[in-house]
């Protein structure tokens, strides 16, 4: 695990870093507080897609949504359920299921999502009331089992004096742990041979 001490998950102005940023959500279509509320502010179009998917019962701990707001293939947001209802505390089992679905499913859909670095906060350790040590150990255990590396950010995020990000495409894919596609927008494609120089790319 690479710890980026004092750095926020989203950069100034809400820009995504090169890779996949994990947005901790519930399955009820609500982004009313915490990290999810920040994502909702900067990416309102993503929120509408997420809310619609929740209404259709497509977001669960066994089905995750990856959203691509830019023309770049190399910057995405994974809406990762950490609980069922927004009023509940986050669940270790829920987070593990969601992370396994995101990682293994990304390999299954074979669109290059699994080739990108993963950026995250301590999932469930904020308003989800999960113990921070437990949340950290959860990520470390999954790194070992799944063969991935997480980039962990603990800096504050704010929407103060910032505007929503211009979402050029708004494409998304929803898949399960086996890589079966539940829903996909018409132009969600990934070209792993064309990562350089694309609009929206932001390095770590």
Q: How confident is the model over 2-21, as pLDDT tens digits?
A: 999 999 999 988 999 999 99
18 and 77 in contact (C-beta within 8 Å)? no
Indicate whether 188 pLDDT > 50. yes
How many helices (H) does the chain have, and how many strands (E)?
Answer: 4, 8
Which domain does 118 fall in, by range? Answer: 2-184
Domain assignment of residue 38, yes or no:
yes
Query: Which domain CATH number covers 172?
Result: 3.40.220.10
Domain assignment of residue 121, yes or no:
yes
Domain assignment of residue 200, yes or no:
no
Range from 67-71, 102-106, 119-123 carrying the lowest mean pLDDT: 67-71
Residue of higher predicted confidence among 171 and 203: 171
Domain assignment of residue 100, yes or no:
yes
Domain assignment of residue 194, yes or no:
no
Domain assignment of residue 195, yes or no:
no
Domain assignment of residue 78, yes or no:
yes
Q: How many CA atoms lie within 13 A of 142 on its CB side?
A: 23
Domain assignment of residue 83, yes or no:
yes
Instruction: Calculate mean pLDDT across residues 113-123.
Output: 94
The answer for residues whose C-beta is within 8 angstroms of residue 2's C-beta and 6 or more apart is 149, 150, 151, 152
Q: How many domains does the chain have?
A: 1
User: Comparing C-alpha atoms, which of 164, 13, 16, 12 is closest to residue 76?
Assistant: 16
């Amino acid at each position: 695990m690479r710890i980026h001490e004092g750095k926020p998950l989203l950069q100034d102005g809400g820009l995504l870093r090169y890779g996949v940023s994990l947005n901790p959500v519930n399955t009820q279509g609500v982004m009313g507080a915490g990290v999810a509320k920040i994502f909702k502010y900067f990416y309102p179009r993503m929120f509408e897609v997420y809310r619609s998917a929740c209404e259709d019962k497509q977001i669960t701990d066994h089905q995750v949504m990856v959203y691509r707001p830019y023309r770049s293939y190399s910057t995405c947001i994974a809406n990762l359920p950490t609980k069922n209802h927004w009023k509940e505390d986050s669940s270790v089992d829920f987070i593990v299921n969601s992370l396994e679905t995101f990682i293994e499913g990304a390999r299954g859909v074979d669109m290059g999502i699994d080739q990108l670095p993963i950026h995250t906060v301590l999932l469930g350790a904020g308003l989800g009331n999960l113990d921070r040590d437990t949340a950290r150990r959860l990520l470390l255990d999954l790194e070992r089992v799944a063969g991935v590396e997480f980039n962990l950010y603990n800096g504050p995020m704010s929407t103060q004096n910032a505007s929503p990000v211009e979402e050029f495409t708004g494409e998304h894919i929803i898949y399960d742990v086996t890589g079966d596609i539940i829903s996909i927008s018409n132009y969600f494609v990934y070209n792993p041979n064309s990562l350089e120089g694309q609009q929206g790319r932001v390095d770590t």
